[in-house]
Amino acid sequence: MQPRKVLYTIAVACAICIPLTGLYPVFVMKLMCLAIFACSYNLLLGFCGMLSFGHAAFFGTAAYATGWLMTARHCGVGVSILGGILAAALLGLVIGLLAIRRHGIYFAMVTLALAQLVYFVCLEAPFTGGENGLQGVGRGALFGIISLKSDVTLYYLVFAAFVAVFAFIERVVHSPFGQVLKAIRENEQRAVSLGYEINRYKLAAFVLSASLAGLGGSLKTLVLGFVTLSDVSQGASGEVILMTLLGGIGTFFGPVLGAAIVVTLQEYLSDLVGGWVTVIIGAIFVACVLTFRRGIVGALAAVVKRR
């Protein structure tokens, strides 16, 4: 067996055992939702080289859509999650069509501005609960049969979704489609001259990434039972960048590790230092960009390769 597969097997085995260890399952589930978000983001940034500064728009929109479908429309869990993903995908299509007209930093600024537009819509639209957000979203039952009230059942659902997303992204990146994306990242002009319609590829990647981010957002609503404006905010977009950067842009496991570190920091550090968390997050950002651009997994991989 390859060492990579051994590592994955161990990780999956550990994750399956987590509910038995008494580690607070809601925390682990939240972490997995954000890991899905970070992985989806990495698909765009790491494998297509597109830095979106507004990815929380997709995460948050799906979270709101799922919450709204469950509370106002009394839809089932499956339908609500699918609805969330669909909403994120549609939004991804619209924002993507506009944003891919520009490259690099312009792309980042356009996504940032359009995400801010989504934020204001969420603030003022009648179905999002404005400043309060959507509270008291129940968990319901999957397919109307399997009740998700118990944390353990929901944990395995979220875990299954996480594994599926991870495997899907690995599959996509290694597919011919993924190879074209990498080619575009490396040298756009050359990809054009080889006859690829690069804008279609970029748009497809953008919509794919937005949909997966939406899945993360929908699941988070289910896990925590509420949606707030912070899910669509600029802060959330910044955090997902930090997770990816810290773990390692363009590595498969990096975003997962990055999400784990950032979520743990926020959860435990805020008790210790209170509001200084923002400052610490900012300092990690600065330190990462200056000294650690490959991220933790990227740096480890480089060490292993050198041996």
Which parts of this chain interact with other proteins (CB under 8 A)? 51, 53, 98-99, 101-102, 104-106, 108-110, 112-114, 116-117, 120-121, 123-124, 234, 238, 241, 245, 274-279, 281-286, 288-290, 293
Residue among 104 and 144 whose Cβ is closer to other proteins:
104
Q: Shortest approach of other proteins to residue 149 CB, angstroms?
A: 37
The span from the CA of 214 to the CA of 89, in Å, is 8
Beta bridge partners of 142: 146
The span from the CA of 290 to the CA of 283, in Å, is 11
Task: Please give the C-alpha separations between residue 4 and each of 173, 174, 177, 252, 303, in angstroms, as whole numbers.
Answer: 16, 15, 23, 11, 15
Residue among 131 and 304 whose Cβ is closer to other proteins:
131
Q: Shortest approach of other proteins to residue 102 CB, angstroms?
A: 6
Residue type, 200: R
Q: Shortest approach of other proteins to residue 39 CB, angstroms?
A: 19
The span from the CA of 144 to the CA of 127, in Å, is 25
The span from the CA of 13 to the CA of 261, in Å, is 20
Q: Shortest approach of other proteins to residue 278 CB, angstroms?
A: 3
Q: Shortest approach of other proteins to residue 7 CB, angstroms?
A: 29
Q: Shortest approach of other proteins to residue 113 CB, angstroms?
A: 4
The span from the CA of 74 to the CA of 174, in Å, is 39
Q: Shortest approach of other proteins to residue 264 CB, angstroms?
A: 18
Residue among 192 and 283 whose Cβ is closer to other proteins:
283
Q: Which token pair is 252?
A: 């498969």
The span from the CA of 11 to the CA of 159, in Å, is 12
Residue among 61 and 66 whose Cβ is closer to other proteins:
61
Residue type, 195: G
The span from the CA of 157 to the CA of 153, in Å, is 7
Report the interhelical angle of 234-247 vs 277-291 (nearest 10°): 40
Residue among 119 and 162 whose Cβ is closer to other proteins:
119
Q: Which secondary structure element, helix H or strand E, spans residue 147, and what is its range?
A: strand 146-147
Residue among 51 and 265 whose Cβ is closer to other proteins:
51
Q: Let me know: does 226 contact 136? Beta carbons within 8 Å.
A: yes
Residue among 4 and 293 whose Cβ is closer to other proteins:
293
